[in-house]
Amino acid sequence: MAYYIDLAFNGLVFGCMYALMAVGLTLVYGLLRILHIAHAAVYAFGAYITVIVANATGSIAIGILAAIAACTLLGMAIYRLLYEPLLDYPPYVAMIASIGLLVVMEDGFRIAFGEQGLTFARNPYPTQLHDIAGLTVNTVQIAIIALSTICLVLLALFTTRTRIGIGWRATVSDPRIATSFGVDAIKVRYLNFAIGSALAALGGALIALLNNFVEPTMGFVVSYKALAIIVLGGLGSLQGTLIASLALGLTESYGTIFVGRFLDRDAIAFLFLIAVLLIRPQGLAGARTA
C-alpha cells in the first residue's frame, strides 16, 4: 500500500514539473497556434543557468532567480526574432523553425558545456530527507509541489482578478478580441512568452536540483512529453493542461508497473496520448470542432 502512495507522490511531483513546462507551451499555442517546440530549450537553458550561476555565486537562490530572468528574456527574444516574422505563413513553418532552434540550442549546450553536463558544486537538498505521513521525501520534491502550486495559483489569480490578466486570458482563448479588452495585442504576446518561459525556467531549475545535474539532451525528453500534454489537455486550454500534466505524471508512475516490460517509461506518455486521442480526438478538455 505504501508503495502505491509512494508512486502517487512520485507521479504528483512529476505532474507538477510537467505543468510548469506545459503551461508555457499551451499559452503560446492558444495565442499563436504555433507548436513552440523550442520551449524545451528555454527549460534546459533555465536549468543550465541555475547551475552555472549557483556555482559562481555560491547561492542556489540567486541561481534560480538568474535563470528566471534569463529565460524570460530568452522567451521574448524567441518570439520577436523567430516567430513574429513567420506569422503570415502556415503554422508548420514556425514549428519547423522551432524544432531547428531546439536542435541548435541543445547542441550549443553540448559544445559550450560539454557532453557530460554540469553538476552543482554544493546541493544538499536532494539528500535532505523528511518523513511526511509515512512517506520519505526530499526537500526538492516538496519544493516542486509547493512552488508549482504557488505559481499556478498566482497565475490563476492573475488571469481572473486583474484586468490585464483577464484580458490576456481572453486573448489567449480568442486572439481577435484583444483590442476590445483594451489590451495591446503585441504586449499580450510578450507577456505570454515571458510568463511561460519564467515558469519553464523554474521547472528547469527544480529538475536540476532534483537530479543534481544537467545535460545537453535534457530538453528533448521533456519537449515531447509537454507536447503530448498540451494535445491531451486540448491545445490552448490552461485547465486542460494542468489536468493532463497531473494525469501524465500519475500514469507514468503507475504505468511502469504494467507496461514497464514492454515499453520505456518515457514512451508511456505517448501511449497514453494515443489511447486518449483514439477515444476523444479533441483531447481531454478540448472543444469538439464542428
- Please identify, using beta-carbon distances, which residue of 218 and 235 lies nearer to other proteins: 235
Site of interaction with other proteins (CB under 8 A): 29, 33, 35, 82, 85-97, 99-108, 111, 220, 224, 227-228, 231, 235, 261-264, 266-267, 269-271, 273-274, 277-278, 281, 283, 289-290
Judge whether 169 and 23 are in contact, CB under 8 Å.
Answer: no
As given in the structure block, the three cell numbers for residue 132 are: 511526511
- Please identify, using beta-carbon distances, which residue of 202 and 269 lies nearer to other proteins: 269
Residue 240: Cβ-neighbour burial (10 angstroms; 0-12, 13-18, 19+): buried
Judge whether 247 and 232 are in contact, CB under 8 Å.
Answer: yes
- Please identify, using beta-carbon distances, which residue of 52 and 271 lies nearer to other proteins: 271
Q: How far is the CB of 69 from other proteins (least distance, A)?
A: 25
Q: How far is the CB of 250 from other proteins (least distance, A)?
A: 19
Residue in the block written with cell 483594451? 182
Q: How far is the CB of 95 from other proteins (least distance, A)?
A: 7
Q: What DSSP character marks residue 80?
A: I
Instruction: Count CA atoms within 13 Å of residue 31 on its CB side.
Output: 27
Q: How far is the CB of 265 from other proteins (least distance, A)?
A: 8
Q: Tell me the one-letter amino acid at 109.
A: F
- Please identify, using beta-carbon distances, which residue of 122 and 174 lies nearer to other proteins: 174
